[in-house]
Chains A and B, each alone.
Chain A
Amino acid sequence: MKRVLTRSLLTWFLAAAFFVGLGYFVVRLVTNAEDWAQLPMNGHLSASGLGTAGTIYDRKGVVLAESVDGERVYNSDPRIRAAVLHTVGDDSTSIATSVQSVYRNDLVGYSFLLGMGLPESFRSTSDITLTIDAEACAAAYDVMAANNYKGAVVVYNYKTGEIICKVSTPTYDPNSPPKIEEGDDTYEGVYLDKVLSAAYPPGSTFKLITAAAAIETIPDSPARYLYCEGGTIIGGEYVTCVEPHGEIDMREAMADSCNIYFAELAVELGSDTMTKYANAFGFNKSFSMGHNDLKKSSYDVSKADTAALAWSGVGQYTDLANPMHMAMICSAIANGGSPTNPYLIKDVSSFFKIGDIKAGISGENGDKMMKSATANKLADMMRYTVSDHYGDSMFGNLHVATKTGTAEVGDGKEDGWIVGFVTDEDVPLAFAVCIENGGFGISSAAPVAKAALEASAQALNN
């Protein structure tokens, strides 16, 4: 019988395989439960999946979404509904970065520990208060909608990190999500929150980075004068400027957005230095905001020839910038070199809190992007751009420092950018606006920025 005992060891292999499999099942279930439980085919979810979910408020307590009698109800103002769609989300999880997608489990009070079947008295749904201001979002959205603009707007408090205004278009009404046909351009990128998840060629707004690199590297910068005759040959390729600017220093070049000045600086600095400063400013780096990752901005001149390097210095070539990231760069300039990390979740209320939604609440300083002196010089130039060139009336009562940009995106199309910050002490707002195919940033993006800033300033004052 001893022999049978030895041979019966074979059954242990079966048992071992079984227990390993069981362990795998448990691990896989526990790690994926939150995703699986929220799939729309789950019969425990109401038709919308959010029928018993908590309320989402804006910073002033305006209800953006709530559940009434098993139905998800959004704000009654269609402007606000469309403006905050990408921030709040709709019934589906199509907009992956929205609060209703990312924090769905918290909103409906689900955790794997307790499952979905807690009796009424014990259910703990979370209410979420956001940092955004519904009216500020709607104000920016109105201008976008009136002009049929597609693009991204973000305004945030560069001292605290609270995002005040955040709009992505095209958008839709969450009360009646569109059925999108294949190849329908109207809704191209509609499920993308472009503030967080898009990256565009930065065009002239990138000159801020080239300028910073030059200020910190080249001894006679930014005072050095260069001559712009409206175009020149760099590396065998003709680099154009909007107009001949003549003999100009950096401040004037920034205000006039002279391509020649910054293209020649980029070539002089060389690809290594340019890359070093772009990286310091957060290009090629992943930023996360709460539980979302920002689309990475990129700057890569490893394969660039001289002409390409020149173009890269003025935000063309393969450069890409994420709007939220550009606003963070502006916050660093306003803050003396370090950006304030933006955040969206102001508060979460719930009785039994399991999970770490609060990890989304931050406002700390990010890694230093530039020296404090550099930041002050850039801030002066950006302010000079408005006070001397555009005129302060452009932003109503606010005193703003900006850099505009017009980025060529091919096929003769140009994206219009404006980035910057408000210099008024009590209105610490940094912003970035990018209008797809908007042409000159000053004419397309600036009016959107004005509306967004004015409404955001109002929101701060209340």
Chain B
Amino acid sequence: MEGFLGFVFDLAVVILRVLIPLLAVILITQIYSSLRHNRRNERPLIMLLDEDENRAIPVLYWENSIGRSKFSDIYINDPAVSREHAVLLRRDDGWIISDVDSKSGVFVNDEKIEGRTHVYLNDKLRLGTTTFRIKRTEEFSGRTRRSWFFFADGKSGVSQVMLIVLLTVFQFLMTCETCLTAKALETGVIDLSPFMWFGLLAGLSWAAYLITSLVFKRVNFEIETLALLLTSIGVILSVHQSARQTLVQYVSAAAGIVLFEFMIKFLEDPDRIGRHAKWVYIASLGLLAINLIFGKTQYGAANWITIAGISVQPSEIVKIGFLMVGAASLDRLQTKRNLFEFLVFSALCVGALALMGDFGTALIFFATFLLISFMRSGDFKTLILAVSSAVFASTIVLRFKPYILERFQAWRHCFDEPYVWDTGFQQARTLIYCASGGLFGVGIGNGCCKQIFASESDIVIGIVCEEMGLIISIALAVSIGALVFYARAITTRSRSTFYSISACCAAGLLVVQLSLNIFGATDILPLTGVTFPFISAGGSSMVSCWGLFAFIKAADERTYAIKKAGLFASADK
């Protein structure tokens, strides 16, 4: 196109280039703003009244450890009480006390209990020589602290409909830019078919929103909006790459949302997994075993199995099982302090992945294992022991298979000969195209990075940075990185340590994975070939990321808020 019309289109493209990152930044800010707003005051749920000493101990959390240890949530200075004596839990059907292998036992209304026992208002609890009566909180007038993460004002943030509207506008603008490629501007032939994908994506987003708000009656939609934003970027960027890939991304995103909703439902009872852990172990190890036996080596790693023409990456699915069996409710953590089962399971997972040659995923599992085991035990010794044995094992492996190192020789030298033509090829191109994109990108569909091998997965940051610019790339990376702060802020507000642990570790896992992806592609770390959550091509990865987000969503007490109305209602308002 030439002349004035050409100029108008050029101007439109420039405006779009600036508007899209701007909108993404606004959307991400709004998502987090909403996550930080709208919180109930962290007031005690019930109280334990020590009638002898006439003092009231507030019960702040859904799960509270009781014991002589100073770090207990409810600390009792009584020599007859064990350091870890009992756990007082809140469940949908009321309050429960659980003896966690104390020496002197727990007595409810003077009867010694075994395992979990329901307790009710005005019940008498005896631990050691201390006696409590369970009371409502009206009588309590203390102040409680709140996390820096949450706004203090109690005002409600942006409405959730606004988030989904912003998301739709973002999807629309991105689709517009997708149509206005340099080639389209030059020839004047504008292909509008990407708008089909806009329709499908917007439809999926609104459907997800309406279902969660109308059917599941959930009020909040921030985590889903973030996942949908990332998913949309991945889907639309792939339009110019391969039609099949776009379809796979879209279908697996839909499947991911289904898994997400299913998991929210399934995780509603935090004890459910504890009862079925065995099956998760078996299923996870079974999947990895099948992968090891039948997996075909593809691009250096044998981490794929193909069933009826569909390639699946079992390790992605196992991530979810890994978090499920890793986390547990507080009383389970304290009665089963032994990490042995989980340790063996983790070693098997990491070992299997290393055998497949998928060192990136093996590292992700290992880092997640460290997080989980530390959050469960708080034991630095376990941490140090695990790291040193991993280092030892790697040294042994490298001693016998030194050629593994050759894969990583280009690290920090990707522009040097000869690496720039072989093992450093992708990293050098990623950096070149990141540089070519500048702050606002060269426009969707105008990039060259997509012609590089594995650009849609391992080095997708190259495509995002090149076609959409550095600003949005950093905004997206930060939006995932900041989940760690969110997950940690809701730790004590979660309905169970099962959620706290799984959410923190899911966020940690995503950050480790994102680090390996971005820093591997940009030659800051060795290139290991893991995916950028939601954006990289790959059905298994997409589904798995939605599953990981489900852990984070489940940890937010608001997710199940509708269910708890009516139960000790005074505590929640």
Query: Closest Cβ of chain B: how far from A29's Cβ, in Å?
Result: 6
Q: Which residues of B contact A12 (CB under 8 A)?
A: 484-485, 488
- Is A5 in contact with B182, judged by CB distance below 8 angstroms? no
* Distance from B450 Cβ to chain A, minimum over Cβ atoms (Å): 10
A14:B435 contact, CB within 8 angstroms: no
CA distance A41 to B6 in the complex (A): 30
Contact yes or no, B428 A25, CB < 8 A? no
The reply to whether A119 and B13 contact each other, CB–CB distance below 8 Å, is yes
Q: B448 within 8 Å of A by Cβ?
A: yes
CA distance A112 to B71 in the complex (A): 52
Q: A1-B491, A42-B448 are in contact. Are A121 and B439 (CB under 8 A)?
A: no
Chain B, range 9-42, C-beta contacts under 8 Å to A: 9-11, 13-14, 17
By beta carbon, the residue of chain A nearest B147 is A5
Bound together, the chains give a CA A113 to CA B330 distance in angstroms of 51
Is A1 in contact with B439, judged by CB distance below 8 angstroms? no
Chain B residues, CB < 8 A from A15: 481-482, 484-485, 511
B222 to chain A, nearest CB (A): 19
Partner pick for B437 among A18, A22, A32, A115, CB 8 A cutoff? A115
Residues of B within 8 A of A3 (CB): 65, 71, 73, 378
Q: Which residues from chain B contact A24 at a C-beta distance below 8 Å?
A: 524
B46 CB to nearest A CB, Å: 15
Contact among A5, A43, A111, A120 with B438 in the assembled complex (CB-CB below 8 Å): A111
* Closest chain A residue, CB of each to CB of B521: A25
Asked whether any CB of chain B lies closer than 8 Å to the CB of A390, the reply is no
A7-31 vs B, Cβ < 8 Å mask (1 yes, 0 no): 1111110110111011011101100
Give the residues in chain B near A116, CB-CB below 8 Å: 436-438, 442
Interface flag for A37 (CB, 8 Å): yes
Interface presence of B219 (CB below 8 A): no
A41 to B420, CA, bound (A): 10
Q: Is the CB of B435 within 8 A of A112?
A: yes
- In the bound complex, residues from chain B placing their C-beta under 8 Å from that of A36 are 431-432, 434-435
A241 at the interface (CB under 8 A from B): no
A21/B515 in contact, CB under 8 A? yes
B477 at the interface (CB under 8 A from A): yes
Q: Please indicate the chain B residues that have their CB under 8 angstroms from the CB of A117 in the complex.
A: 17, 182, 436-438, 441-443, 446
Q: State A391–B292 Cα separation when bound (angstroms).
A: 91
In the complex the two chains form, is B437's CB within 8 Å of A42's CB?
Answer: no
How many whole Å from A143's CB to the nearest CB in chain B? 39
Contact B435 A11 (CB under 8 A): no
Q: Are A25 and B522 in contact (CB-based, < 8 A)?
A: yes
Chain A residues with Cβ under 8 A from B522's Cβ?
Answer: 25, 28-29
Q: Is residue B375 contacting chain A, with contact meaning CB distance below 8 A?
A: yes
User: Is the pair A37, B432 in contact by a Cβ cutoff of 8 Å?
Assistant: yes
Count of chain A residues with a beta carbon within 8 Å of a chain B beta carbon: 46
Asked if B440 contacts A1 (CB within 8 A), the reply is no
Shortest CB–CB separation between residue A280 and chain B, in angstroms?
41
Residues of chain B with a CB closer than 8 A to A32's CB: 431, 435
Q: How far is the CB of A322 from chain B (nearest CB, A)?
A: 30
Chain B residues near A37 (CB-CB < 8 A): 432, 435-436
Q: Say yes or no: A14 contacts B512, CB within 8 Å.
A: yes
| Contact partner, B491, options A5, A19, A29, Cβ 8 Å | A5
> Which chain A residues border B558 with CB–CB below 8 Å?
none
Asked if A4 and B524 sit within 8 Å, CB to CB, the answer is: no
The answer to whether A43 touches B448 (Cβ under 8 A) is yes
From B375, B448, B451, B474, contact of A7 by CB (8 A): B375
Binary contact readout B35-75 vs A (1 if CB under 8 angstroms, 0 otherwise): 00000000000000000000000000111110000011100
B500 at the interface (CB under 8 A from A): yes
Stretch from B207-215, B276-284, B393-401, B501-509 that touches the partner: B501-509
Q: Indicate if the CB atoms of B438 and A115 lie closer than 8 Å.
A: yes
Cα A119 to Cα B9 with chains together (Å): 9
Say whether A44 faces chain B, with CB atoms less than 8 Å apart: yes
Query: Quick check: B6 and A121 within 8 Å, CB to CB?
Result: yes
Complex Cα–Cα for A63 and B433 (A):
32
A351 on the B face (CB < 8 A): no
Shortest C-beta distance, B1 to chain A (Å), equals: 9
Q: B500–A29 contact, CB under 8 A?
A: no
- Contact check, B64 vs A1: say whether CB atoms are below 8 A apart: yes
Which partner residue on chain B sits nearest A116 by CB separation?
B436
Chain A residue with Cβ nearest B484: A15
Which A residues from 260 to 284 make CB contacts under 8 A with B? none
Label chain A's interface by main secondary structure. Answer: helix
Pick from B72, B436, B481, B505: contact of A42, CB under 8 Å: B436
- B16 → A minimal CB distance (Å): 11
Cβ of B530 within 8 Å of any chain A Cβ, yes or no, is no
A122: which B residues are within 8 A, CB to CB? 10, 14
Q: Smallest distance from the beta carbon of B404 to chain A beta carbons, Å?
A: 23
Within the complex, the shortest CB–CB distance from A311 to chain B, in Å, comes to: 42
Contact in complex: B61, A1 (CB < 8 Å)? yes
B470 contacts the other chain (Cβ, under 8 Å)? yes
Task: Output the least CB separation between A302 and chain B (Å).
Answer: 37
The yes or no answer to B371 lying at the interface (CB within 8 A) is yes
- Tell me if B429 is interfacial: C-beta within 8 Å of chain A: yes
Q: Is A39's beta carbon under 8 Å from chain B?
A: yes
Asked whether B492 is an interface residue with its Cβ less than 8 Å from the other chain, the reply is yes
| A223 located at the interface, meaning its Cβ lies under 8 Å from any Cβ of chain B in the complex | no
Contact B375 A8 (CB under 8 A): yes
Docked Cα-Cα span, A41 to B432, in Å, equals 8
- The answer for the CA separation of A19 and B519 in the assembled complex, in Å, is 11
Q: Give Cα A211–Cα B504 distance, bound, in whole angstroms.
A: 78
Could you say which of A5, A10, A22 contacts B477, with CB atoms under 8 Å apart?
Answer: A22
**B508–A11 touching, CB < 8 Å:** yes
B374 contacts partner chain A, Cβ-Cβ < 8 Å: yes
How far, in Å, is B270 (CB) from chain A's closest CB?
Answer: 12
Residue B367 is within 8 A (CB to CB) of chain A in the complex: yes
- Residues in A whose Cβ lies below 8 Å from that of B17: 117
Task: Give the Cβ gap from A283 to chain B, nearest Cβ, in Å.
Answer: 35
CA distance A19 to B484 in the complex (A): 11
- Compute how far the CA of A382 lies from the CA of B164 in the bound complex, rounded to whole angstroms: 83
A302 to B481, CA, bound (A): 58
The residue that A5 contacts in the complex, of B371, B448, B492, with Cβ under 8 A, is: B492
Chain B residues lying within 8 Å of A119, measured Cβ to Cβ, are 9-10, 13-14, 182, 185
Q: Which residues of B, 429-488, contact A by the 8 Å Cβ criterion?
A: 429, 431-443, 446, 448, 451, 469-470, 474, 477-478, 481-482, 484-485, 487-488
Check if A120 sits within 8 Å of B448, measured CB to CB.
no
Task: Find chain B residues with CB under 8 A from A114 CB.
Answer: 438-440
Contacts from B to A (Cβ < 8 Å):
6-7, 9-11, 13-14, 17, 61-65, 71-73, 182, 185, 330, 367, 370-371, 374-375, 378, 415, 420, 428-429, 431-443, 446, 448, 451, 469-470, 474, 477-478, 481-482, 484-485, 487-488, 491-492, 494, 497, 500-501, 504-505, 507-508, 511-512, 514-515, 518-519, 522, 524-525
List of 6 A-B pairs having minimum Cβ-Cβ separation, nearest first: A117-B442, A115-B438, A43-B448, A119-B10, A33-B435, A36-B435
For the complex with contacts A36-B435, A117-B182, 11 further pairs of A-B residues with Cβ separation under 8 Å are A2-B72, A2-B73, A11-B371, A14-B515, A15-B481, A18-B511, A28-B524, A36-B434, A41-B432, A119-B9, A122-B10
- Listed by A's residue number, 6 A-B pairs whose Cβ atoms lie within 8 Å are A1-B63, A5-B491, A6-B378, A22-B518, A24-B524, A115-B442
